[in-house]
Each structure stands twice: as C-alpha cells, then as structure tokens.
Amino acid sequence: MSGPGGAAQVTGPAAPGWRRTHPLGLLARALSYARGAALPLVAAIVGARNWPGGAGAVAMVAVMAFAVNAVVVWLGWRHHRYLVGADEIRVEHGLVRRTARTVPYDRIHDVAIEEPALARLLGLAEIRFETGAGGKDEVTLRYVSREEGEALRETVRTRRAEASHSAGSPTRPGARADAVEPPPRLLFAMDPRRLLIFGLFEFSLVFFAVLFGLAQQFDAVLPFDIWAVDQWQQRAGGPVEVLRGIGLTAQIAAAVLGVVLLGLAGLAAGLIRTVLRDWGFRLEHTPRGLRRRRGLLTRTDVVVPLHRVQAVAIRTGFVRRRVGPDGGWHRLDLVSLAQDSKSSSHTVVPFGTLAEIAPVAAIAGFPLPEPGTRWHRPSARYCLDRALLTALPAGLLAGALAVAGTGWNALAMLGLAALLALRQAMAWRLDRHALSPLHIHVRRGWLAPRHDIALRVRLQTVEIVQGPLARRRGYADVVFGIAGGTLRIRGIPVIEAQRLRAAVLDSIAGTDFAHLSAPPAAAAP
Amino acid sequence: MQPAAVPDDLTPLHPDYLKVVRIGWTLLAVPVLIGAAVLEIAGVLPRGAVLVPVLLVAAFAVVLVPPRRYRARGYRLDPDRLRVVRGTLFRSDTVVPFGRVQHIDVAQGPVERFYGLGTLVLHTAGNHNASVRLPGLPHAEALEIREAIRAHVLRETP
C-alpha cells in the first residue's frame, strides 16, 4: 500500500471538479459509531469487573477498536470523491477495490436530503440521488454541508431541465429554470395540535417490550436477580409489607394503578415517537412531484415524482375512524418502487380527514371514487365458506365443552363462533371493488377498512388463483402485481374474475411500462 | 354453475418435462431412502416403522403426483402476452403482458439439458409475480420466445 501522499495523488480531488464529502462528516460518523458501541462497552466492562485488571483490558480494547474504526473511516473518506459533471454525477470510492459509479442527470428524479440529529448539529446532510433503483442501490453522499446539499439539488434540477430542453437558449440555465417553475403549493401540513392528537393514537407498548428484552439480555450483568420476586419484596421492604397488611382491596388498587401507569407510558411512547418523526410535516405540490418534509431531530426532505406512483392506499384504525371528524382520521400512502426509510411506500398524509386526503390523492392521479361508482361484492358463496371455516374451530370446541358438561364455557365459545361468522357477514357487506376507466378500487375490512386505488395501466401482471374449495364453489381471487406492492381481490365469481382480467389486460397491453416511467405521465385508457 | 378452471385453449408442456420432474424428485428421495435404510438396518425401531412410510411417500411423490401436475400445466403465447397456468390443488393462472417484462432468462439445469429442455423466466417490476417461470419448453423454443418478447419490447420502446 502506498503512503497517504501517494494515495492522495491517485484518488484525491486533485483533478479539477472532483470533490470530497465534508470533513466534519468524519466526526459525525465517529460519534455515531461511539453511540452504537456504548452499550456493548458498558456490558463488557460490567461483565469483566471480576477479572483482575479486566476493566482496564476492556477499556484498551475499546480504545483500539475506536482508533481502528477512525482510521478505516478516514481512509474511506480520503478515497471517496465525487464530480458534478456536465451530463452526470460521478462517484468513486474504495481503497482496494475501487468502484466508480456514474449517474446521468436524466435518470435522477430528485435529490433527497436527510439530516440525522448528529449531522444536523454539525450543519451536515446526507443526500441521495433518487433514480428509482430503490433503497440501498441509490447513490448517496454522506455527509456534505447543508448548503452543498441544496446546491447539488439545484444543480441536478437545472442540468436535468437543460437536458430535457436540449435545444438550448442563450440565457443562463439557472435563471431560466427559476422563471419556468411555478411556486410550490402547500397540500397538507400538521400543526402541533394535530400532531398531539395523532401521537395519542399511536399508543405503543413496543418500548416496554424492548425494555423487557434488554432486562433479559443483561440480567447476568445486573447486580441483582430481577426475576426473583422475594428479593424484590426484600428490597422494596416496608411498602410491600404494608400493602400485604392492607389486604386484597389495596392489592387490586395497586394492580389498577400499574395498568394505568403502563397505559400512560404507552401513550407517552407513541406521542414521543410521532413527534420525533412527523414534527413540522409539510407536503407541497411542486413541478417535480410531491415534496415532503418532516422530522424533529432527523429532518428528511423527499420528493415523490408523480409519474412513479403506482397505487395509493388509504388506511385507518378501529378507534381513529370512529372519533375523528367527518368520517374519521385516515392515512394516505403512495406505493412506488422507491423506498422510504425501511417502508416500501411513502406516507404523504399521516393523519388527516378524507376531505384533506381527497385533493392529495387526486393530484397524485388517484381520485377517490365518484358517488355513482358501480361497486361489486365478493361472491356470497365465498363469504359463506369463509364464515363457516372461521367459525368451525370455535364451534367444534363449543360442542366438546358442552359434552364435557361445562355449559357456560360452551356458551361463551359458541358466542365467539357467532362473532367470527358475523365478521365474515359484515365483510361480505363491506368488501367491494370497482373498475373505473383508469383505476381499480378495492375496499376491504369491516372495523378498520382499507381502500386501495391502482392505476390500471401501471399494473404488471394479473393472476387468477383458486384453492380446492374455490374451484368447487366457483369463485377465485384476482392478484395484481404492482411495482412496489400487491393488490388482491378476494372471492369473486370466476366469470367476473375473467372479465376483470381481460379488461385490465387490455389497458396494460395498450401501453408499455417504459413509456409510463418517462416523466410526462401517459394517461391511456 | 361451476365454470371449469381446466383450460382448453392451452399448449401443454413437452412430454419429456414429466421425466425431468420425476428425475428431480427421485434425486431428492434417494438420500432420504438411504437414511431410512440405514435406520432400518441399525434396527433401533420396530421393523418397517421407518422404511415403509418413507417408501410410500417417495412413491407418491415420484409416481403419482408428477403426471397430475404435468397435466395441470400449460401456457398460451399471444402476440403481446404470455399466460402460464399451473397447480392441481391450488390453481394459478397468470398473465404477463410483454410490455411489462423487465428482462428475460432462459435457464437450463443438468437434467433439462439432457432432454434438451429449458425454462423461460420473465421478470417484471411487480412485487407479486416478480418472476414468472415457464418450464418444460424445448430449449430452442424457449430461445425463440425470448427473442419474440425482446423484439416486442424493443418495438414498443422508442
């Protein structure tokens, strides 16, 4: 391996135009590494406390690991460079195995800017060139200064505009792009009050599951046995003895108090998580698509190009649907191939009324169904079969209990069976689908219905699926492949399934997917 | 009112595909049979307690199931779409429009190669049915279909 000086000549930004990411990014990465290493380190120190000189050894290993990591990160940084070229962005990295990537401007839909908390303190941002490759395959720069990020985004947009109007005009490209572009229009935003209500609905006990998990992980390390109740009683000492003395009423009160506390903690956890994620939520309609900014500590700024949206989903919850204004609180997700921080669809309205969602869905190209839409229900046979099948186990159990002579239990079980059957009956009344000239609508669910809208021309495959029962009884499921999702219509009569498939295939065959992915979204029948 | 899902306008697969499937199952069954025979000779369990059920299952998988599955399979090639039907108990009937094909593979395993067969795999952008497999085509025909689909995709994409 050559010395650092030699390496700099080969790979450094010596050539004109080549740049490195921001040096402060090294600090941000080192800090985040330290944050990740803190917990194992503490565990190791506690675990080694009984060795002679154990803690010292652990500390030394930790310092060495940190130093090695710092050197690796530094080397990686030295050998990582990027160039904003005339037609493309070029990124080269790697010490031993050098990788060079080229992303042409006309393939970049947009530049996503993410500012994790640590980087944000240092005025840095991570930028990602969105090409539709999805998630990990996108080219990212971590980290550059916030101004550099904005400048890169502006450059990419200007160069893209130039590429598409390649005829060229004598005026300055930046000025022209600014002049052409109408100002962004605010579609949806959440004020702190809305955020608070939303947070209350995001009640979560996951936090406790994690705590319990940690406690179990570390119980060998802790200086006492947290699972031994009598030890606890010793530790708690007086109060528990007093409680015992008071008797049953007080014990029940204590239990109720515990549940209430747990509930409050669950509410707090949901609230905190929601505020962290969705603080300052803003959705704007820009010429390049829907731009979404959100986050309290980690701020993200993403643009979803409209021609990339394959389908939308409107979801709700059991409670939030009933207590919200005009039809309850709903959420709107856009399904596309792009990844949005681990989830496969972009939430563009996290918590809004249908009246707020409808215009956003319409702008995305997926208008909510008209009042006169002709809905179709699943086959009655399908629902009868489902009702019988779901109620059967509980029914059998009820019979067994009755034979065993425990009448009340049998009755309760029978009630459960009836409830399950009722659920299917309701599903038959409420599950439905409709075919409009451009879209497919699928509604499913009784207590918390979900509504999917897919654009017919953007469907990928159509499959008719039948199980043994379905074949005998003459119904089928229709499953559509969507880029970034799946759509399933359950239990419709076979003839209707075939008709549906024929209609959708005619829409698809009329248009090639490559045209659809091109920016001016084609609207074909 | 029971519209038969058994399709009539479909092209069956090449008869040799049945042999390919049988050989595949046999190759899978042989190690299990050897294991069962070893157990039998070791005499740990009562005579026939392992070997007989294993033999029955193997016979079922190699002799009885493949013909039924073979008869349930079929495809139909149209100018702009491919339809693939499969499954005995759970039937699936998939249509892939050529306009949605991202790329195409023609795969050939060792047994398939011996019989001159190939498997056509169409990849789409969808999460469901991301790749649709059509086995049991004569290899030359699989290549021909691939070329036809490619020509279609090229024609439609300027």
CB A333 within 8 A of CB A345: yes
- The residue behind tokens 């042989």 is B30
Q: Are residues A32 and A72 in the same domain?
A: yes
Q: Model confidence at A302, in pLDDT bands (50, 70, 90)? A: confident
Asked if A26 and A149 sit in the same domain, the reply is yes
Q: Which residues of B touch A483 (CB under 8 A)?
A: 125-127
Q: Which residue has the higher pLDDT, A75 or A324?
A: A75
Pick the residue from chain A with its C-alpha nearest to B131. A461
Contacts of A467 in chain B (CB under 8 A): 89-90
Buried b (16+ CB within 10 A) or exposed e, A384-404: ebbbeebbeebbebbeebeee
**Best to test chain A binding among B82, B89, B91, B155 (most A CBs inside 10 Å):** B91
**CATH code at position A68:** 2.30.29.30
Q: Which amino acid is at A51?
A: W
Query: Backbone phi, then psi, for A36, in 5-degree steps?
Result: -65, -30
Of B97, B126, B156, the CB nearest to A483: B126
At A211 the pLDDT is 66
pLDDT digits (tens, 9 = 90+) for B84-105: 999 999 999 999 999 888 888 8
Q: What is the CA radius of gyration of chain A?
A: 29
Residue A172 sits in the same domain as residue A24:
yes
Nearest chain B Cα distance for residue A39, angstroms: 38
- pLDDT band with cut points at 50, 70 and 90 for residue A173: very low
Q: In this structure, is residue A112 part of a structural domain?
A: yes
- pLDDT digits 0-9 by tens, A86-144: 888 888 888 777 888 888 887 787 788 888 888 888 888 988 887 766 556 678 888 88
In Å, how far is A332's CA from the nearest CA of chain B? 20
pLDDT of residue A358: 94
Cα separation, A334 vs A341, whole angstroms: 14
- Together in a domain, A73 and A110: yes
Query: Is A268 in the same domain as A292?
Result: no
**Residue A178, C-beta contacts closer than 8 angstroms, at least 6 positions apart:** none
Regarding whether A169 and A244 lie in a shared domain, the answer is no
C-alpha closest to that of A310 among A439, A135, A185: A439
Using CB atoms, which residue from A485, A495, A514 is nearest to B3?
A495
Mean pLDDT across the stretch A379-401? 88
Q: How many domains does chain A have?
A: 4
Burial A433-469 (b: 16+ CB within 10 A, else e): bbbeebbbbbbbebeebebbbbbbbbbbbbbbbbbee
pLDDT band at A238 (very low <50, low <70, confident <90, very high): low
Does residue A289 lie within any of the structural domains?
yes
pLDDT in tens, B40-87: 888 777 877 888 889 999 999 899 999 999 999 999 998 889 999 999
Residues A223 and A165 in one domain: no
**Do A10 and A158 sit in the same domain of this protein?**
yes
In a shared domain, residues A34 and A144: yes
Which range of residues forms the domain containing residue A123?
A: 4-181
pLDDT tens for residues A474-521? 999 999 999 888 899 999 999 999 999 999 998 887 765 555 554 443
In this predicted structure, the answer to whether residue A216 has a pLDDT above a threshold of 70 is no
The B-side interface with A (CB below 8 A) comprises 1-3, 5, 80-81, 89-97, 99-100, 124-130, 132, 153, 156-157
Is A296 inside a domain boundary?
yes
Residue A214 within a domain: yes
Q: For position A97, what pLDDT does the model report?
A: 78
State the best of B9, B10, B94, B157 to mutate against chain A, taking most chain A CBs within 10 Å. Answer: B94
pLDDT of res. A525: 35
CA angle A261, A266, A267 (to 5 degrees): 100
User: Of the given ranges (A2-6, A234-238, A364-368, B62-66), which has the lowest mean pLDDT?
Assistant: A2-6
In a domain, A497, yes or no: yes
**Residue range A398-447, pLDDT digits in tens:** 888 888 877 788 888 888 888 888 888 887 888 999 998 899 999 998 88
Cross-chain Cβ contact B124/A460 below 8 Å: yes
Report the pLDDT averaged over residues A255-268: 86
Nearest to A480 by CA among A498, A460, A497: A460
In chain B, residues with a C-beta closer than 8 Å to the C-beta of A501 are 95
Residue A81, pLDDT > 70, answer: yes
Maximum mean pLDDT: which of A53-62, A278-287, A315-324: A278-287
Q: What residues form DSSP beta bridges with A443?
A: A432, A451
Nearest CA in chain B to A480: B128
Q: So what's the pLDDT on residue A513?
A: 52
Cα distances (Å, whole numbers) of residue A139 to A107, A125, A293, A301, B137: 12, 14, 20, 16, 40
Question: Same structural domain for residues A266 and A298?
Answer: no
In a domain, A475, yes or no: yes
- The encoded tokens of residue A466 equal 């039948």
Percent of chain A with pLDDT over 90: 24
Binned at pLDDT 50, 70 and 90, residue A47 comes out as confident
**Among the partner residues A344, A481, A501, nearest to B129 by beta-carbon distance:** A481
Chain A hits for B130, Cβ within 8 Å = 481
CA nearest neighbour of B85 among A292, A464, A181, A369: A464
CA dihedral A178, A182, A187, A192 (to 10 degrees): 40
| Alpha carbon distance B91, B89 (integer Å) | 6
- For residue B156, pLDDT over 80 is answered with no
Is the predicted pLDDT of residue A172 greater than 50, yes or no? no
The per-residue pLDDT for A284 is 94
In B, minimum Cα distance to A458 occurs at: B100
Q: Hey, are the CB atoms on B93 and A472 less than 8 Å from each other?
A: no
> Which of the listed residues A277, A297, A330 is the one where a domain comes to its end?
A277
Q: Does A518 touch chain B (CB under 8 A)?
A: no
Residue B82 CA, chain-centre distance (Å), reads 16
* pLDDT > 70? residue A226: no
Contact partners, residue A168, CB within 8 Å, separation at least 6: A162
Q: What is the pLDDT of residues A177-210, one digit of tens each?
A: 444 567 889 999 999 999 999 998 888 776 667 7
pLDDT of residue A340: 65
Give me the mean pLDDT over the A436-465 stretch: 91
Q: What is the pLDDT of residue A246?
A: 63
Domain C-terminal end among A304, A333, A363: A363
Question: Coil, strand or helix: which one is A444?
Answer: strand
Q: Are the beta carbons of A486 and B93 separated by less than 8 Å?
A: no
The answer to whether residue A71 scores a pLDDT higher than 60 is yes
CA nearest A515 in B: which residue?
Answer: B157
Per-residue confidence band for B1, with pLDDT thresholds at 50, 70 and 90: very low
Please give the mean pLDDT across all residues of chain A. Answer: 80
pLDDT at A487: 92
Q: How far apart are CA A329 and CA A199, in angstroms?
A: 12
Among the three residues A255, A277, A299, which one is the final residue of a domain in this structure? Answer: A277
Q: What is the pLDDT of residue B118?
A: 93
**Any chain B CB within 8 A of the CB of A197?**
no
pLDDT at A25 over 90: no
Which among B92, B97, B157 has the least Cβ separation from residue A463? B92
Instruction: Work out the average pLDDT over B121-127.
Output: 88
Asked if residue A248 and residue A103 are part of one domain, the reply reads no
Instruction: Give yes or no: residues A62 and A49 share one domain.
Output: yes
SS3 assignment, position B146: helix
Q: Name the band, by pLDDT with cuts 50, 70 and 90, for residue A351.
A: very high
pLDDT at A235 over 60: no
The answer to the question of residue A28 being in a domain is yes
Three-state DSSP class for residue A406:
coil
